[in-house]
Structure 1
Amino acid sequence: MQTQEQEDLEVTTASPTPQRSGGASRRILWLLVTLGIIGALVFVKMKYFPSQNAEAKGGGKGGAGGGKGAPSGAGGKGGGQKLPVQVYVVKATSLADEVAATGSILAEESVVLKSEISGKITSLNIREGQPVRKGQLLLTINADEIQAQLRKQEFNIKLFRDQEKRQRTLLDKEYISAQEYEQANNQLLTAQADLQALRASLTKAYIRAPFDGVLGLSTITVGTYVSPGAEITTLSRVKPVKISFTVPSRFSNLVRTGDPITVTDEASNKKYEAKVYALDPQIDPVSRTQTVRARYANTNNELRPGAFVKVNLQLGQTSEALQVPTEAVIPEAAGYNVYTVQQGKMVPKKVKIGVRSTRLIQITEGVAVGDSIIRTGILQVKPGDAVRVTK
């Protein structure tokens, strides 16, 4: 019995040895797998992401020494990067004060000839597009009825005049009262007034040119029946002609009668010289402009009424004008701005403008001689940004 128990005890004590050996093997296996995975990750990182290692090293050096690595970490404008811009240095220049506008050509005189009475046209002397003289007979409207009434009224006046003469004789002899004489005299005066009205109506049957000019086109012929208000033709005086245009209200105090203007015909691109002869005393409350009119002799019929023209109004010349490029002026709701460079930074300034052309704009207030005005990179800079001036 003792021998059997001892054998059993020996077997039980020896059995854990193989189990401990298997667990150690598994731990070693897991350790090897883990090291393999880590090695693979390190290989992938070194092969495919080398920049991160360089940044880590650079960052470490920068963080430790505070030297070369610091600016790259700062980045942007705050780190000292300056936006390159081009500037225009303001200087006094010679400038001819001119106002550019658009205008229209108007006839010196123009009228639409219309009939004032009804009737058929019995004679016609209208030559379309031809000049006529003042008072020249253009057409006649049938007025036989008016002429008959006129002769009848002349006979009545003769009768009333004889009656008035007899009544005056009787009144002098006190055979009739003053009232009876006044009635006879009133008949005479009324008949004379009616005769005058008939003569006025008769003159309406003869349409004449009210001034020297050129006739327009017409569609009527002899025999055409016209009624009051019917248009016959037009008559225009085109030597000289008027040029009508508008200027902004801010120039209204500078425009004077006699100022010269240059007129450019849009059709022929030819230039003509004219002079201002009248100004509208009122400013248009809607457009805030003032209407100006000039006159041109138009001796050779160069300009025709209704044509569109460009006008340059000359207001004088100055040698101390301050001008900047057109692209340097920024329009805003409250006015205009320019961006200046002061001590290496952008500083905006409010300005007032004057005469402008396609390339330059006059600045009347807000800048001085020597100011550096930014003309490029305007959309990228903000107030206070550091800028670098380039040529």
Structure 2
Amino acid sequence: MPVETNTVAPAPKWDTTTTPGPTAAPPVSDPTPETPPSKGRGWLGWLIAALVIAAMVFVKMKYFPSNAAGGDKKGAAAGGKGGPGGAGGKGQRTPVQVYVVAATNLTDEVAATGSVLAEESVVIKSELSGKITSLNIKEGQSVSKGQLLFSINADEAQAAIQKQQYNIKLFRDQERRQRTLLDKEYISAQEYETSNNQLLTAQADLQALRATLDKAYVRAPFSGVLGLTTATVGTYVSPGAEITTLSRVRPVKIDFAVPGRFAANVRVGDVVSVLDETTNKKYDAKVYAIDPQIDPVSRTQPVRARFANTGNELRPGAFVRVNLKLGESETALQVPTEAVIPEASGYSVYTVKNNKMVPKKVKIGIRSDKVIQITDGLVVGDSVIRTGILQVKPGDAVRVTK
């Protein structure tokens, strides 16, 4: 068997005289994560950082001088020259305006809205159906009690009355004969009672017919002033049809309500001031009735006063403003509204004592749009800060300005 032999070819030899030999590949270096900045970018970053620091220092010195001006630490700590509490630190004190508390006159009033009502008022209606046969209504004119206003055709009622009168005459004669027979014991007592009952029933029916006839003639139930009407003679009306109104306007009533917390302070006989917004004139009315119950919806106490209205100054239905005086004090303490600070636990004010701000808790009473009564927490002579309240804190030095 022929034996195959593997021969290794010799490596080629390069002729260095004509062709240069192969060169080794350059070594592979590991890639770097960042390229170091150039010198130009380095100095630019430092410049930006320096500008930012300079801006922060400027803002600090400009808008926060109290913290930055600490050069004279010894004088600031001792409150001497250069410190905010010393003679040279007046520029550091917060300027404020104050109100000096003094005793003033105060009237305790309750303001309410009210309506004017007629002393008496009624809608004149017809109780019967029929045609109006006479009409004596003069619109807007005064009438006296009992004066005839209008009448309705009552021919049927008059005929029914006449018929019933004939029946009564017949029943009366029967009752007389039955009584004679009863006395002689010709009839029983029951027969006589039946006859007598017919007579009594007929008499009662006659009274009912006369009452119906009276409804055909409508008269004024009281003296007053008539309203407008659209009825004329010949108008057919039904029961309940409105003909006109009648009102008594001298005097008039003033209806108003006060908050429930003042209910105990209202008394019969109290004088209230009534302002008519149409003429801007004030009148004095007197309380004559107080509702015994507080309205459960509005939590107010209904009150009613009376005004003479001799000159027809107030008209029923008008809207008025009512001021009820509950009391008057000559030693009340009041401060401007802007000086009182509402808090979760009540109210407080800022006062000035030894040129420093001192807060005080107070209790308020009557208030208006300009002043508030202080019932506890202040005394006469206290200086209450009214401006610059948001710029001061307890213990801060302040400077009182005019």
Q: TM-score range by the shorter chain?
A: 0.7 to 0.9
Partner residue of 2:349? 339
Matched, 1:159 2:166: no
Matched, 1:101 2:105: no
Task: Tell me which of 146, 156, 159 is aligned to 1:148.
Answer: 159
Task: Tell me which of 98, 114, 122 is aligned to 1:111.
Answer: 122
For residue 361 of structure 1, report the CA deviation from its aligned partner.
2.8
* TM-score, normalised via structure 2 length: 0.74
**Could you report, residue by residue, the CA deviation over 1:15-59 in whole angstroms, capped at 9, with x for unpaired residues?**
xxxxxxxxxxxxxxxxxx94x77778888899998656879999x
Letter in 1 for 2:337: T
CA distance in 2, matches of 1:49, 1:363: 52
Partner residue of 1:388? 398
Check the 8 A contact 1:128/1:217 in 2, yes or no.
yes
Check the 8 A contact 2:362/2:375 in 1, yes or no.
no
For residue 135 of structure 1, report the CA deviation from its aligned partner.
0.5
Letter in 2 for 1:225: Y
For residue 320 of structure 1, report the CA deviation from its aligned partner.
2.3
CA distance in 2, matches of 1:339, 1:159: 97
**Could you report, residue by residue, the CA deviation over 1:85-144 in whole angstroms, capped at 9, with x for unpaired residues?**
444343332212222221111111111111111111111011111111110000001111
| Greater shift in the superposed pair: 114-123 or 247-256 | 247-256
Check the 8 A contact 2:352/2:385 in 1, yes or no.
no
**What pairs with 1:13-92 in structure 2 (closer than 5 Å)?**
34=39, 67=71, 84-92=95-103
**Could you report, residue by residue, the CA deviation over 1:256-300 in whole angstroms, capped at 9, with x for unpaired residues?**
111112211101111112211111111112222111111111111
Relative distance call for 1:86 and 1:66 in structure 2 (3 A) is closer
Partner residue of 2:28? none
Task: Tell me which of 222, 229, 232 is aligned to 1:211.
Answer: 222
Check the 8 A contact 1:115/1:230 in 2, yes or no.
yes
Check the 8 A contact 1:351/1:367 in 2, yes or no.
no
Partner residue of 1:351? 363
SS class of match (2:192): helix
CA distance in 1, matches of 2:145, 2:195: 43
Check the 8 A contact 2:151/2:217 in 1, yes or no.
yes
Relative distance call for 1:352 and 1:157 in structure 2 (3 A) is farther
More helix, by proportion: 1
Letter in 2 for 1:298: N
Partner residue of 2:232? 221
SS class of match (1:264): strand
CA distance in 2, matches of 1:280, 1:162: 59
Check the 8 A contact 2:93/2:399 in 1, yes or no.
no
| Greater shift in the superposed pair: 217-226 or 323-332 | 323-332
| Greater shift in the superposed pair: 140-149 or 49-58 | 49-58
> How many residues are matched?
345
Partner residue of 1:246? 257
Relative distance call for 1:300 and 1:69 in structure 2 (3 A) is same
CA distance in 1, matches of 2:141, 2:60: 96
CA distance in 2, matches of 1:374, 1:218: 66
For residue 234 of structure 1, report the CA deviation from its aligned partner.
0.5
SS class of match (1:253): helix
Check the 8 A contact 2:105/2:332 in 1, yes or no.
yes
Task: Tell me which of 196, 203, 207 is aligned to 1:185.
Answer: 196
Partner residue of 1:200? 211
Relative distance call for 1:95 and 1:54 in structure 2 (3 A) is closer
Check the 8 A contact 1:346/1:387 in 2, yes or no.
no
Give the root-mean-square deviation of aligned CA atoms.
3.7
| Greater shift in the superposed pair: 216-225 or 316-325 | 316-325
Letter in 1 for 2:398: R
For residue 194 of structure 1, report the CA deviation from its aligned partner.
0.8
Identity %: 64
For residue 325 of structure 1, report the CA deviation from its aligned partner.
2.3
Letter in 2 for 1:168: R
Unaligned ranges ≥5, structure 2: 1-37, 76-83, 86-91
CA distance in 1, matches of 2:317, 2:344: 36
CA distance in 1, matches of 2:344, 2:137: 58
Letter in 2 for 1:235: L
CA distance in 2, matches of 1:66, 1:94: 51
For residue 69 of structure 1, report the CA deviation from its aligned partner.
9.1
**Could you report, residue by residue, the CA deviation over 1:184-211 in whole angstroms, capped at 9, with x for unpaired residues?**
1111111111111111111111111111
**What pairs with 1:206-355 in structure 2 (closer than 5 Å)?**
206-329=217-340, 337-341=347-351, 344-345=356-357, 347=359, 349=361, 351-354=363-366
Matched, 1:362 2:366: no
Relative distance call for 1:390 and 1:239 in structure 2 (3 A) is same
Relative distance call for 1:67 and 1:104 in structure 2 (3 A) is same
Task: Tell me which of 105, 119, 124 is aligned to 2:135.
Answer: 124
Letter in 1 for 2:255: S
CA distance in 2, matches of 1:292, 1:332: 35
